[in-house]
Amino acid sequence: MINNRDLSWLNFNNRVLQEAQDKTVPLLQRLRFLGIFSNNLDEFIKVRVANVIRLSQIKGKKVPLFSGNYTPRDLLIKIKSKIAESQLKFDKIYNEIILEMEEHGIYMLNEKQLTKKQEAYCRDYFSRIISPRLVPLIIRKRTAIPFLTDSNIYHAVKMQNKNKEDTKYAIIQIPVSNNCPRFIELPSEKGLNDIIFLDDIIRLCLDHIFFMFNYTEISAYTFKLTRDALLTVDDDVSKSLIEKMEDGLENRMHGQPVRLIYDKEMPEDLLGIIISKLKLKDDDSCEAGERYHLKKDLMKFPKIRPDLEYINPTPLIHNGIKPSSSILTVVKKKDILLNYPYHTFNHFIDFLREAAIDPKVESISITLYRTAEHSKVINALVNAAKNGKRVTAVLELFARFDEEQNVENTELLQKAGVKVIHGADGLKVHSKLVLVERAERKEVKGYVYVGTGNFNESTALVYGDFGLFTAEKAIVADTRRVFDFLENTHKHFQCDRLMVSPYYMRRQFEQLIENEIKNAKKGINAYIYAKFNSLTDENIIKLLYKAADEGVKIRLIIRGACCIKTKSENIKAISIVDKYLEHARLVIFGNGGKEEVFILSADWMTRNLDRRVEVGIPVLDVKVKETLKSFFDIQWSDNVKSRDLNSPDQNSYIERIGDQKNRSQIMLYDFYKKMYEDRDTGCY
């Protein structure tokens, strides 16, 4: 028996909500956690709930059960109940935070609370910034409305006369963008910060928008759609993959609505028209909510009070890498481990930049899944190609919700002369892999980077991830084989050191777990320490149950969905949710006293092990291995931000014994800093 994946994920999102509720978290950071919660939930509904709905609507066919032995219909009921419960909690926390903000002189004003000066400012802002971006849509009973996307919020507008005849209805998209933000700072008295929603400035200026109509009363109410995010790509052989992807993205935009959330004050006649025009048939998909929707925008709340935010320390410079010196020379001598965000991501950027201009570098091969906007990684690859290097980028077009960005990156790279490969047949390429090849003394020397996270300088500031540089010959040879396979997917390959899914990784992990079972039966100290984003693969879980029954000690740090039931004393699981997103993947096997340590791009999920190209690397350097073991021990000792997964629905914090507070994300920064200050220990 295992826990249901979707319900377990909802428990994780509730841990994010706990951070918003935690009074020890800086106030505006708590507001941002609400934005993260909202963003997570939107994606969950688009992807997971939409899938459950599709399966629940199948008639006359046997539908497979979800994990935990749930039927689609039963699971849907359970999911909706948990979402509704969480939403009530969200609204309560949001209102509490708004009141606390007022205690600090930060006021969220609506259009009816403005001073004359503020109202004049808003009307001017509307004329300059908002009005040019507005496209009001008049709703007529007998005509269809233009398509409404789920990435936006809308005002539903009602205009009526005193006699309530000739009532008119309209829809306005609220045009949120970088140039037109959701939150606008208003002129304020000294020591105060007044903020208004973009929504409310539009409400204030409805008379400017609909001046041509005759009415005595006008009002606006927000609503938001969530659509099925299923991306379908046709099999027309006459089209390029890029063309198919662009068509698929267009089709996704027009996915079936799965949820409508609307202002509970919206009049019934206006709501009825919206539901009718959207062709929503299931009443359960319509939810009354508060005045403001799309709360994910809270992640971008103005940084008006640094004292009410987390102030993260500056990422460390690895002391094995000297400023303005060759990273390739360092890696040639020893392996280098980076742990973001404690280390600067600039080391990786500098690695690519050095390879791009080094006359002896012949080629660069890289896998790309998600990159930053205006990516320095992409720029380095473009520069390398312009400098005459052979650059190959295996770029995954099907990186969910980043597909559009990856289409743009494809065009940019190809224009520069980069060879772009769009994944492997039927497989997502999710690995984080780089190979630089350099001519040295009549041979070609290889330099490899294997990571757990994306090559994205923006997320590297807030995502906890590992990256390992190595020039180990066996690893280099394996990496060449992986890239050779990605360029020629029909070609069989075998790796000596690297773990590669979907071909060998599952079997290797199964063998490693079985080895711990054998050792436990012999009375040898046997253990498995693992850190993942998710643990949902049923076969792996069954094998872990078997291992625990035989006496193998299993410690698990799982951020998100965790389907394993800690039914044995030998299985313990925690989840850490803190200011940085825990994204690193790490596994340690006891191996009879000769520990084996791996970092990898994959979670223990079926999709990662069976349907994606993932890469894991064994850590061979003794000192790097010791560093990773210390990392795990520090995280396992967390008694501030870790939750006990033994009772998954409770999200109980780990019980603290004594007065010592161990907050692992703070401790890890101090750990690396001290390591670098103590030169005798070496730096890895």
- Catalytic positions, written as ranges: 430
Q: Which tokens hold the place of 325?
A: 């010196």
Integer Cα distance of 274 and 252 in angstroms:
21
Hey, how many other C-beta atoms are within 10 angstroms of the C-beta on 157? 24
DSSP H stretches of helix in 22-174: 27-44, 50-56, 72-103, 116-125
- Asked if omega into 341 is within 30° of 0 (cis), the reply is yes
What are the residues whose beta carbons fall under 8 Å from the beta carbon of 594, sequence distance 6 or more?
A: none
For the stretch 60-93, what's the b/e string if a residue is b when 16 or more beta carbons lie within 10 angstroms of its beta carbon? eeeeeebbbebebeebbebbbebbeebbebbeeb
- From residue 183, alpha-carbon distances to 118, 273, 506, 508 in Å are 14, 29, 47, 51
DSSP string of 324-358?
TS-HHHHHHHS-EEEEETTB-THHHHHHHHHHHH-
DSSP H stretches of helix in 528-572: 538-549
Quick check: helix, strand or coil at residue 122? helix
Residue showing tokens 């032995």: 69
Residue 30 and residue 97 in contact, taking contact as beta carbons nearer than 8 Å? yes
- Name the amino acid, one letter, at 266: M
Integer Cα distance of 35 and 28 in angstroms:
11
Hey, how many other C-beta atoms are within 10 angstroms of the C-beta on 95? 11
Quick check: helix, strand or coil at residue 673? helix
Integer Cα distance of 318 and 450 in angstroms:
17
Residue 523 and residue 550 in contact, taking contact as beta carbons nearer than 8 Å? no
- From residue 410, alpha-carbon distances to 239, 348, 457, 468, 482 in Å are 16, 21, 19, 26, 21
- From residue 406, alpha-carbon distances to 46, 249, 415, 421 in Å are 20, 12, 14, 12
Integer Cα distance of 93 and 23 in angstroms:
11
Residue 137 and residue 209 in contact, taking contact as beta carbons nearer than 8 Å? no
Quick check: helix, strand or coil at residue 109? strand
Integer Cα distance of 196 and 32 in angstroms:
17
Integer Cα distance of 431 and 65 in angstroms:
30
Quick check: helix, strand or coil at residue 551? coil
Residue 74: alpha-carbon gap to chain centroid:
28
Torsion sign over Cα 373, 377, 383, 389: negative
